[in-house]
Amino acid sequence: MLLSLGCQTMREGVTSSLIFFIAGILMILVAMHVVPQIWNLNHIVMLFGFILLLLSPLILISTFLISVLPKSRQKMDQCDH
């Protein structure tokens, strides 16, 4: 099922969002300070960093929207928070 959300997938969504956010910030910092400017490589790395930064809130928002569905709400009430 595509929209099945449980305790495990809720934690995975939040964790993956945090990982994407941190990886995006690190890639942007690496592109600014470490990667040489040969063949515009620093811009490519920075683009991937911005993509990761943009995906981070999208994962959180989609996890929240799935969690407020009626069937998911019943599953989430049984979780240990």
Q: Could you state, in order of their start, the residue ranges of all structural domains in the chain?
A: 15-69
Taking the C-alpha atoms of residue 32 and residue 20, their distance in angstroms, rounded to an integer, is 18
Taking the C-alpha atoms of residue 65 and residue 50, their distance in angstroms, rounded to an integer, is 23
For 49, half-sphere exposure in the C-beta direction (CA atoms, 13 angstrom radius) is: 18
Mean pLDDT on 4-19: 83
Residue type, 66: I
Q: Is the pTM of this model over 0.85?
A: no
* CB neighbour class for 27 (10 Å; exposed up to 12, middle 13-18, buried from 19): buried
Q: How confident is the model at residue 7 (pLDDT cuts 50, 70, 90)?
A: confident
Which of 13-17, 25-29, 61-65 has the least mean pLDDT?
61-65
